[in-house]
Copies of this chain bind each other. A is one copy, B any other.
Amino acid sequence: MATAALETTDTRTRLIEAAVDLFTRHSFAGTSLQMIADELGFTKAAIYHHFRTREQLLAAVLEPILDELRTIVDSAETRRTAHSRAEHMLSGYAALTVRNRGLVAVLAADPSVAAVLIERAEWGDLIKRQLALLADVDPGPAGEVKAAMVFAGMAGAAGPTWGTFDDAALQEHLVDAGRRTLGLRAPRRS
C-alpha cells in the first residue's frame, strides 16, 4: 500500500513536470494528453487515472504558482501606500517569475491559458488584483497599460526564448526594469 501510494505520487509529479515542459514549448492548447503520455511512455489510461481533462492538469500545474501569487497579493494589499503596495507586488512577482521560468509565461502570456483564467473567477480575480496593485501608482489608463506591460513583460523576459540570464541577475534586472516602468523609486535600505 505504501509503495503504491508512493508510485501514485511519483506518477502525478512526473505528469505535472512533463506538462510544464510541454506547455512551455507548445502552449497549453498545443499540448494534448496524448503528447504527455508519449513523452513519458505512459498509456493515456495511466494519465486519466490522475487527470480526467487537460484543464485539470493545467490547474495542477498552475495552482502552486497561483497560491504563491495569492500570498504576495494578500500581503501587498495590507501595505499603507500605493507605492509600497506596488513595490511589494513587483518584487514578489519578479521572484515568483524567476523561480518559475517559462511557467509564469504560460500563466501571463499564453493566449489559450488566458481564456481559462478568465473563466475561472477565482483565478481571473487574482490577476485583476495583481494588475490593480501595479496600476494604482498612476490611476487611470496610463497606469493600467504600465501594469499590463509589467505583468506580461516580466513573464516574457524570464521565458527561455530570447536569452538566458542567471537567476539572481535576472531578478535584480526585472525589479529594476519594473520600477522604471511604473515610476517607482528603489526603497531606502533600513
Report the bound CA distance from A27 to B163 in whole Å.
Answer: 22
A115's nearest neighbour on chain B, judged by CB, is B25
User: 9 tightest CB-CB pairs across the interface, nearest first?
Assistant: A29-B30, A152-B156, A153-B153, A149-B153, A148-B157, A109-B109, A145-B173, A27-B27, A27-B112
Contact A181:B149 (CB < 8 A) given known A118-B161, A141-B165, A165-B141: yes
Which chain B residues lie closer than 8 Å to A173 at the CB level?
141-142, 145-146
Question: Are B148 and A111 touching (Cβ within 8 A)?
Answer: no
Q: Does A93 contact B (CB under 8 A)?
A: no
Q: Is A114 an interface residue, CB under 8 A from the partner?
A: yes
Q: Is A176 an interface residue (CB 8 A)?
A: yes
Shortest CB–CB separation between residue A104 and chain B, in angstroms? 11
Q: How far is B130's CA from A162's CA once the two chains are assembled, in angstroms? A: 11
Within the assembled complex, what's the spacing in Å between the Cα atoms of A162 and B68? Answer: 21
Residues of B within 8 A of A127 (CB): 162
B29 touches A109 (CB 8 A): no
A73 nearest CB across to chain B (Å): 15
Return chain B residues, CB-CB under 8 Å to A128. 162
Asked whether any CB of chain B lies closer than 8 Å to the CB of A31, the reply is: yes
Interface status of A144 (Cβ within 8 A of chain B): yes
Q: What's the Cα separation between A118 and B155 when bound, in Å?
A: 19
Q: Which of B26, B31, B165 is within 8 Å of A144, CB to CB?
A: B165
